[in-house]
Amino acid sequence: MTRICVTDAIPEPSIARLRASGHEVIVHDGPQPPDRAELLTLVEGADAVLTVLSDRVDAEFLEAAGPRLKVVANIAAGHDNIDLAACAARGVVATNTPGVLFDATADLAFGLLLAVTRRLGEGERLIRAGRPWRYRTTFLLGHSIEGKTIGLIGAGQIGTAMARRCRAFRMSIAYAAEHPMREPARTELDAVGMPLDELVASCDVISLHCPLTEGTRHILDAGRIATMRPGAYVINTARGACIDEHALAQALASGRLAGAALDVYENEPEIDPALLGLENVVLAPHLGSANVETRTAMCDLAAENALAVLAGRPAPNALRP
Ligand SMILES: NC(=O)c1ccc[n+]([C@@H]2O[C@H](COP(=O)([O-])OP(=O)(O)OC[C@H]3O[C@@H](n4cnc5c(N)ncnc54)[C@H](O)[C@@H]3O)[C@@H](O)[C@H]2O)c1
Ligand SMILES: O=C(O)[C@H](O)[C@H](O)COP(=O)(O)O
C-alpha cells in the first residue's frame, strides 16, 4: 500500500482527504515535533512526506526515506529547509504552498508594524507587571506611520500584500527585489524600486519579505544596519537568518534604531538573549500564517501536491532546484 507520512499534526479534514485517496497515512502525533532520529524513522518506506519548515530535508533524510519516496510536500511557502538539488538527484519532487498564506502573513507583518511603532508590547508588559500608570499627555508616546516610507526587501506575494496594507495607512512604498513588483500592484501602490543599499539607508521602516537563500543570508548585516536612518524600525516575517540578529540587538540597545518587531529568529526557537532584554522589541513566535483558515488551506494544498505526484500528475507547486 502507498504510504504518506505527515511530520506534524495537521487539520483532520486534510488527513481525511489523504486517507480518502486510499493511501496509508501516518501522522506524527507527539506533543513535540519529532527530533531528528524520530523524523528519520517516521519517513522510512514513505512514498510521500508532508513536511514543515523545521524538518531538514537533505540527502540523509532522502536516504532514510528510501527508494519509494516520490514527493516531499512542504506545508510552507518558504523552502529553505529543503535541499532541492538532493531531491532532484533522487527524482523526488519537492513542492511548497504559495498563494494561500500571503494575506495572513502580511496581516501579521502589518500588526507587528503597528505594535512596535505604537509601543504596544511595552504597554502590555507594564500592565501585566502591575506597575502603576496613569493617562499622561506624554506617556508611552510612539510614532505615526502616516507619511513615512516603508522599504520592502522582497516584493513578491507577501511583500506586495504588506505594501497594500501600508498604502491604506498612507505610507509611501519603496522596495528592493530581484524582479520588479508585479503590475498592476506596482502602479496602484506607486511603489518605487531601488538598489538595496539605497533602500536600507533611506526608509523609515525596513520590512523583510524575501526567501532565505545564500544570497539573502544576513542581507541586513551589521554594515547595512549601520547605514539605517536613526530612529528607523525593522520588521521581519521572512526568515531569522536574513538578519544579523546580534548586530540588530546592538543597534536597538544603543537607541540608534527605534524598534524592531520579529516573527522569526536566526536560531529558532532560541532567541538571542540580547533581544529578550530590550523594551523596544516586539517578539512573536513564528505566527505569520497561523490562522485556522490559512493553515487549513496550506495543508490542503500540500495534500493536493502529494496526491498529484502519487497519481502520476504534475504537482501544482513543484519547486525547481
Ligand atoms: N513568518 C511566516 O510565518 C512566514 C509565512 C510565509 C512565508 N514566510 C517567508 O516569506 C518569504 C517570502 O514569501 P513570498 O510568498 O512573498 O515569496 P515570493 O517568492 O512571492 O517573493 C519573494 C520576493 O523576494 C525577492 N528576492 C529574492 N531574492 C532576493 C534578494 N537577494 N534580494 C532582494 N529580494 C529578493 C523576490 O524577487 C520576490 O520579490 C518565504 O520564502 C518565507 O521564508 C514567512
Ligand atoms: O514559509 C512559510 O510559509 C511559513 O513560514 C510556514 O508556512 C510556517 O507558517 P508560519 O508558521 O510561518 O506562519
Domain residue ranges in the chain = 3-99+291-310, 102-283
From 239, 266, 295, 304, active-site residue: 239
In the block, which residue shows the cell 512542504? 74
From 24, 38, 60, 268, active-site residue: 268
Residue type, 53: L
Rounded to the nearest angstrom, the distance between the alpha carbon of 211 and the centre of ligand 1 is: 4
Active site residue 28: no
The residue whose CA is least distant from atom 1 of ligand 2 is 78
DSSP 213-230: -TTTTTSB-HHHHHHSPT
Rounded to the nearest angstrom, the distance between the alpha carbon of 209 and the centre of ligand 1 is: 4
What local confidence, expressed as pLDDT, does residue 21 receive?
86
Query: Under CATH, which number does the domain 3-99+291-310 receive?
Result: 3.40.50.720
* Beta bridge partner(s), residue 282: 261
Q: Which residues contact 84 (CB under 8 A, 6 or more apart)?
A: 94, 319, 320, 321
Global confidence as pTM: 0.97
CA-nearest of 136, 262, 266, 144 to 207 is: 262
Helix, strand, coil percentages (3-state) for the chain, rounded to 5, are 35, 15, 45
Q: What ipTM describes this predicted complex?
A: 0.95
294-297 contact pairs (CB < 8 A, 24+): 294/100, 294/101, 294/103, 294/104, 295/10, 295/11, 296/11, 296/13, 296/14, 297/97, 297/100, 297/101
What local confidence, expressed as pLDDT, does residue 217 receive?
98
SS3 7: coil
Task: Count other C-beta atoms under 10 Å from residue 226's C-beta.
Answer: 13
Domains 3-99+291-310 and 102-283 share a fold: yes
Task: Count other C-beta atoms under 10 Å from residue 269's C-beta.
Answer: 9
Q: How far is CA 99 from the centre of its chain?
A: 14
CA-nearest of 92, 107, 85 to 51 is: 92
Residue to mutate, 158, 173, 221, ligand 1, most ligand atoms under 8 Å from C-beta = 158
- Within 6 A (CB) of ligand 2 lie 53, 76-78, 101, 286-290
SS3 91: coil
Residue to mutate, 74, 105, 268, ligand 2, most ligand atoms under 8 Å from C-beta = 105
What local confidence, expressed as pLDDT, does residue 154 receive?
98
Q: Which helix (H) or strand (E) holds 111?
A: helix 102-117
User: What 8-state DSSP symbol labels residue 298?
Assistant: H
Task: Classify the C-alpha dihedral 71-39-3-99 as positive or negative.
Answer: negative
What local confidence, expressed as pLDDT, does residue 23 receive?
92
Residue type, 179: H
Fold of 102-283: Rossmann fold (3.40.50)
The residue whose CA is least distant from atom 5 of ligand 1 is 288
Which ligand is in closest contact with the Cα of 158?
1
List the pLDDT tens digit at each of the 321 positions of the chain: 899 999 999 999 999 989 988 999 999 988 999 999 999 999 999 999 999 999 999 999 999 999 999 999 999 999 999 999 999 999 999 999 999 999 999 999 999 999 999 999 999 999 999 999 999 999 999 999 999 999 999 999 999 999 999 999 999 999 999 999 999 999 999 999 999 999 999 999 999 999 999 999 999 999 999 999 999 999 999 999 999 999 999 999 999 999 999 999 999 999 999 999 999 999 999 999 999 999 999 999 999 999 999 999 999 999 998
What local confidence, expressed as pLDDT, does residue 321 receive?
87
Q: Which residues contact 128 (CB under 8 A, 6 or more apart)?
A: none
